[in-house]
Amino acid sequence: MNVDVGSLGAVSRTAREGAERAADNLTGMTGIDARVDVTAVTLASQADLAHDDERVGVAVDLSGGIEGASLLTFSPSGADALIEALVPDADATESAIAEVGNVVTSGFVDGWADHLGTIVDVSPPEYVEGTGAELLDEAGVDPDRALAFRSEVVAVGEALDVRFHMFPDPESMQEILGDDDGVAVEKLVALREMGRAGARTASESVSAMTGIDASVDVTRLSFVPVEDVPADLSDERYVGVVFELDGRLGGYVLILFDEASAREVVGALVPGDGPVESFDGMARSAMTELGNVTTSSFVDGWANVLDATIDISTPQFVHDMGRAVAESVVARLGQRQTDAVLFDAVLRADDRAFDCELYLLPDEAEFRDAVDDIDVDATAERTTKAGSL
């Protein structure tokens, strides 16, 4: 299937319209003031979607104007908040979640039906619970599916954590996104896989410098309205670096550690007996150097797949709320484009507090040109070699 990369951000705006209807439906049912946080067209493998955290929700089959499946899930605490709002003191978890799932899913789907000028039928909701992998299996999602629509809804003062994924069948996805003159999805998959290889190399660089055994947990390639990019980061404070890219692919790279993780890595890099109290002096220098090495490792993967040189700027140290950091970058990027390509990866360690988030925000026009030139077979060979090193 070929897709028009330039139109994917616009399709994300349609996804947002559906998500806003769903949030309104949720507020109407529960009285909880819900709002849309993230909407995106996401290129993610089943492994990336199948997190180990427990979720509860509903699976729904779609037919008519869109064939496929959808998953609407809540964290356990979010489910508790919903049940308390709907049926206080009642033991009705499955029926309450199914009822909410039916109404909220209808909101999402109605937005798509209006966009396509068609009717989309939804099956009775099936209550599901378990890890991400288990939920995908129960929903009958094809593990080789390339593209999905992702939305997240939150509520002020409530641990709501609502995630919606819609998985159209290939024929329906072709109807929604297809463009004979566009870029083959296989090229986007190849780019994501090489990005994943770059993230693995970056994690190895972090491990070599700090002694912390880090690994890649999640990688995604998403297409979002540029103003929605900050919503992918939380409101917690991060420590890290921002780089500007130049060469075949312009744009920005963000390497961000939550404060607890930053203390871990700086403590491993800077001699001293006590805990890291502030991120200045040697601590800032250490974080900047770590960001420099990590970014170089990460960007090399993209340079390899594009068979081109990508230069990185002098690192800009940041210590701020995650969304504030992203907003400063988006303000610069938004001067020349309305939609954004976002590659993100999360590095984690099993044995200690460690969470590193990598974000690549390329210039959209340069990204489209670069993707056109990708040789899928050559990229697959490079990715195989990178994975075997």
Q: Which residue in this structure is represented by tokens 């070929």? A: 2
Contact 123, 60 (CB under 8 A): yes
The yes-or-no answer to whether 2-177 and 183-388 have a common fold is yes
User: What percentage of residues in the chain have a pLDDT greater than 90?
Assistant: 16
Query: Within a 13 Å sphere around the CA of 1, how many CA atoms are in the beta-carbon half?
Result: 19
Is 263 a residue whose pLDDT tops 60?
Answer: yes
Distance CA 23, CA 17 (A): 10
| Strand runs labelled E in the chain | 2-3, 34-43, 55-64, 68-74, 120-122, 126-130, 147-155, 158-168, 183-184, 214-225, 237-247, 251-258, 310-312, 316-321, 339-349, 355-362
Is 320 a residue whose pLDDT tops 80?
Answer: yes
Contact 101, 59 (CB under 8 A): no
Q: Domain 2-177 classified CATH 3.40.1550.10? A: yes
Contact 355, 206 (CB under 8 A): no
Does 142 or 40 have the greater pLDDT score? 40
Distance CA 70, CA 7 (A): 22
The H-or-E segment that residue 190 falls in is helix 185-210
Tokens of 268: 């491993």
Distance CA 155, CA 331 (A): 26
Q: How far is CA 307 from the centre of its chain?
A: 26
Is 286 a residue whose pLDDT tops 60?
Answer: yes
Distance CA 279, CA 385 (A): 38
pLDDT tens-place string over residues 129-180: 888 777 877 777 765 555 788 888 887 666 678 888 888 888 888 888 777 7
> What are the b/e assignments for 205-227, b being 16+ CB within 10 Å?
bbeebbebebebbbbbbbbbbbe
**Angle at 197 (CA atoms; ends 388, 166), nearest 5 degrees:** 125
pLDDT recorded at residue 115: 77
Is 369 a residue whose pLDDT tops 60?
Answer: yes
Residue spans per domain, the chain: 2-177, 183-388
pLDDT tens-place string over residues 301-311: 788 777 788 99
pLDDT tens-place string over residues 85-125: 777 655 567 888 888 888 888 888 888 888 778 899 999 99
Tokens of 123: 């099956």
pLDDT recorded at residue 246: 92
Helical residues (DSSP H) of 42-117, grouped into ranges: 46-49, 76-86, 93-116
What is the residue-wise DSSP string for 305-334?
HHTS-EEE---EEEEEEHHHHHHHHHHHHT
Task: Indicate the class that CATH gives domain 183-388.
Answer: alpha beta
* Other beta carbons within 10 Å of 190: 22
Contact 47, 113 (CB under 8 A): no
Query: Within a 13 Å sphere around the CA of 269, how many CA atoms are in the beta-carbon half?
Result: 24
Contact 153, 34 (CB under 8 A): yes
- CB-based contacts of 134, cutoff 8 Å, min separation 6: 128
Average pLDDT, the chain: 82
pLDDT tens-place string over residues 221-240: 888 888 888 888 877 899 99
Distance CA 9, CA 199 (A): 24
Averaged pLDDT for residues 324-331: 90
Taking the model in full, what pTM does it have? 0.83
pLDDT recorded at residue 142: 64
| Torsions phi, psi for 292 (to 5 deg) | -65, -45
DSSP state of 178: B
pLDDT tens-place string over residues 340-362: 888 888 888 877 777 889 999 99
Contact 290, 269 (CB under 8 A): yes
Q: What is the largest CA-CA distance in the chain?
A: 66
Beta bridge partners of 32: none
pLDDT recorded at residue 143: 54
pLDDT recorded at residue 273: 59
Distance CA 389, CA 377 (A): 19
Is 298 a residue whose pLDDT tops 80?
Answer: yes
Ranges 224-228, 264-268, 290-294, most confident: 290-294
pLDDT band, very low/low/confident/very high, at 275 (cuts 50, 70, 90):
low
Contact 319, 239 (CB under 8 A): yes
| Torsions phi, psi for 267 (to 5 deg) | -60, -30
